[in-house]
Amino acid sequence: MATSGESNERGWTLLTNHGRILLLIARHPDSRIRDLAATAGITERSIQMIVTDLEAAGYVARERVGRRNAYTINRAQPFRHPAESSHSVGELIDLFVEAPEASKT
């Protein structure tokens, strides 16, 4: 078992790429696919597939704004797995994404 400071040889992370991209979109709803890919460290094609999955499942809505896309997250959408289905993705987003400055006052 790795102790604090030791590397994890298997390299797994707690969040899936889908969860990570959902959080990135929540932070930056007008991000380009290229920007999401650079931040997440995965290919643009992978990002496109993940966004399509999130859209098809009702987690994300995409709207064309000029030459770019803007994304809106359905915060009320429940988690897919039965073990977490009593929780919404909004709860996850609240844990990882800071509220805008205006709403902190």
The domain locations on the chain are 17-96
State the pairing for strand pair 60-65/68-73: antiparallel
C-alpha span between 86 and 81 (Å, rounded): 9
Statement: 17-96 belongs to CATH 2.60.40.10:
no
Q: Which amino acid is at 103?
A: S
- 7 neighbors 1 (Cβ within 8 angstroms): no
C-alpha span between 78 and 7 (Å, rounded): 33
Question: pTM for this one?
Answer: 0.82
pLDDT digits (tens, 9 = 90+) for 28-82: 999 999 999 999 999 999 999 999 999 999 999 999 999 999 999 999 999 999 9
